């Protein structure tokens, strides 16, 4: 077996580190050439004093960072002094059991798999639930862990990426890719490394018979703005690759039929649109990516690209009626927006001139002729009907068509109900537009 360097960055949580190290040392195969590199990223809880007691312990090397440098820099520094052929990049909140390492090594060394990086299966310490069997890009354009594994799963499976909590790779491959990108701050470094290795022609493989336990995100914050910056940097670098992966998923979903994607989009997709699934998947994927990019910009306090959207709206099918203090729908209404790259929502608001409990009305919103949302109003007189995350097109005006029909209690349409609606305003991306 090749010589292995286990690299473990530390940041507080001494008790977990001690438990991790004890389980690691107890499960390293006998006779394996190895060194454990513990690098402290400026802990403040006694970790450094404990590391001093490890001086002279066989197979252990300790390093100290002069200040808190983050995951990428800490791992890169430790890797620079590693002398083994293989790097095992590990978190300090893992618990190992006998037999975890050998399947990962065999997978890495298999000439037929061409593995550039090997991950494994991880279970949460708190409740025993499966937390990781690889990393995927979900249909909403977000990376998440694969948390299902069939009882008859093969010995290994290919994945888009694997978590940096426990990964094995050759030092030459790590060095060839420049290690972890230090632009990332405690997040996305692992996915970025996996994508770099894939771009270099290597596979990312999960060794399904290697199983460990993980406390999960013990030392690093989650759901913070720096995670948003990390995600945006990752998507910016790999946008083309991510869009291709996303589009391939949507082709499969569209071909499987509406039940396959019913929970992923508002409303229904037009038959003509999904009849060319490859083209439709590219449109949906672009809309998903732009939605994420717009959210990052908004959350990070950058200028809103939708500012002034009310001035870029034109409406048809409405007649202002002073006596009604609103707009009557003389026909199907249509709202067109220029320069709209993404929008969280679209709503049409107002009131009905009839008692909806006695005469229900169904209002249908159609976006660009490709996505339709219908709501049936059966109480009161208020109207507030919308669609969430509409699928927008790029480089052209985006059109929202609104039509109303009287319906029976069971939903059967009875006739045009446009004249029974008074529109007071619309909402686009949470912005009110009342001058129509």
Q: Which residues contact 168 (CB under 8 A, 6 or more apart)?
A: 86, 87, 88, 89, 104, 105, 107, 108, 117, 118, 119
pLDDT at 219: 52
Checking if the pLDDT of 46 tops 80, the result is yes
Domain positions in the chain: 4-222, 239-299, 309-433
In which band, very low, low, confident or very high, does the pLDDT at 412 lie, cut at 50, 70 and 90? confident
CATH hierarchy code of domain 4-222: 3.90.550.10
CATH code reported for the domain at 309-433: 2.60.120
Q: Residue 247 above 70 pLDDT?
A: yes
CA dist 343 and 287 (Å) reads 10
Count of CB atoms within 10 A of residue 331's CB? 13
Per-residue model confidence as pLDDT tens digits over 168-191? 999 999 999 999 999 999 999 999
For residue 16, the model assigns a pLDDT of: 97
Which residue carries 């339709």 as its tokens? 372
Average pLDDT over residues 15-31: 97
More confident residue, 410 or 238: 238
Token reading at 188 = 């996305």
Tokens matching residue 18: 């001690």
Average pLDDT over residues 359-373: 97
DSSP-derived pairing of the beta strands 115-124 and 203-214: parallel
Q: How far is CA 121 from CA 193, 210, 211, 265, in A?
A: 19, 6, 5, 31
pLDDT value at position 8? 98
Query: What pLDDT is attached to residue 222?
Result: 55
What is the rounded CA–CA span in Å between residue 159 and residue 116? 12
- What share of the chain in percent tops pLDDT 90? 94
* Closest to 79 in 3D by CA, of 164, 191, 196: 164
pLDDT of residue 220: 53
Mean pLDDT of the chain: 96
Residue 418 dihedral angles phi and psi, to the nearest 5°: -55, -40
What whole-number distance in Å separates Cα of residue 421 and Cα of residue 327? 8
What's the rounded mean pLDDT across residues 144-167? 97
Please report, in angstroms and rounded to a whole number, the separation of the first and last CA atoms in the chain.
73
Same fold, 4-222 and 309-433: no
Digit-coded pLDDT (tens) for 217-237: 665 555 588 899 999 999 999
- pTM (2 decimals)? 0.94
Q: Which of 209-223, 321-335, 415-429 has the lowest mean pLDDT?
A: 209-223
**Inter-CA distances, 169 with 79, 87, 158, 238, 318, Å:** 11, 6, 15, 21, 64
């Amino acid at each position: 077996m090749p010589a292995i360097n286990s690299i473990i960055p530390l940041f507080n949580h001494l008790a977990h580190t001690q438990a991790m190290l004890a389980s690691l040392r107890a499960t390293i195969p006998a006779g394996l050439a190895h060194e454990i590199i513990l690098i402290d990223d400026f802990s403040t809880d006694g970790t450094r004093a404990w590391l001093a007691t490890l001086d002279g312990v066989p197979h252990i090397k300790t390093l100290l960072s002069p200040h808190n440098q983050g995951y990428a820099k800490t791992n890169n520094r430790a890797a620079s002094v590693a002398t083994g052929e293989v790097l095992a990049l590990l978190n300090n909140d893992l618990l190992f059991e006998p037999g975890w390492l050998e399947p990962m090594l065999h997978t890495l060394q298999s000439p037929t798999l061409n593995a550039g990086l090997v991950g494994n299966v991880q279970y949460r310490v708190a409740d025993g639930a499966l937390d990781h069997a690889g990393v995927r890009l979900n249909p909403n354009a977000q990376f998440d862990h694969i948390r299902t594994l069939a009882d008859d799963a093969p010995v290994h499976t290919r994945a888009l990426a694997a978590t940096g909590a426990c990964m094995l790779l050759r030092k030459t491959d790590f060095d060839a890719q420049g290690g972890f990108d230090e632009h990332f701050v405690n997040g996305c470094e692992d996915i970025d490394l996996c994508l770099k290795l894939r771009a270099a022609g290597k596979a990312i493989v999960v060794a399904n018979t290697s199983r460990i336990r993980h406390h999960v995100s013990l030392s690093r914050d989650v759901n913070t703005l720096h995670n948003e910056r990390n995600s945006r940097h990752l998507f910016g670098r790999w946008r083309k690759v991510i869009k291709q992966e996303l589009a391939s998923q949507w082709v499969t979903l569209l071909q499987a039929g509406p039940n396959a994607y019913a929970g992923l989009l508002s409303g229904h997709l037009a038959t003509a649109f999904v009849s060319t699934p490859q083209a439709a998947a590219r449109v949906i994927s672009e809309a998903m990516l732009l939605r994420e990019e717009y959210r990052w910009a908004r959350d990070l306090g950058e200028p809103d690209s939708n500012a002034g959207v009310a001035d870029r709206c034109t409406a048809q099918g409405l007649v202002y009626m002073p006596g009604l203090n609103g707009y009557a729908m003389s026909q199907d209404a249509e709202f067109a927006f220029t320069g709209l790259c993404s929008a969280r929502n679209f709503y049409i608001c107002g009131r009905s001139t009839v008692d909806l409990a006695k005469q229900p009305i169904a209002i249908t919103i159609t976006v660009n002729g490709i996505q339709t949302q219908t709501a049936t109003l059966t109480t009161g007189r208020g109207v507030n009907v919308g669609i969430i995350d509409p699928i927008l097109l790029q480089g052209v005006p985006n059109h929202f068509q609104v039509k109303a029909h009287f319906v029976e209690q069971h939903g059967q349409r009875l006739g045009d109900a446009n004249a029974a609606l008074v529109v007071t305003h619309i909402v686009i991306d949470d912005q009110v537009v009342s001058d129509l």
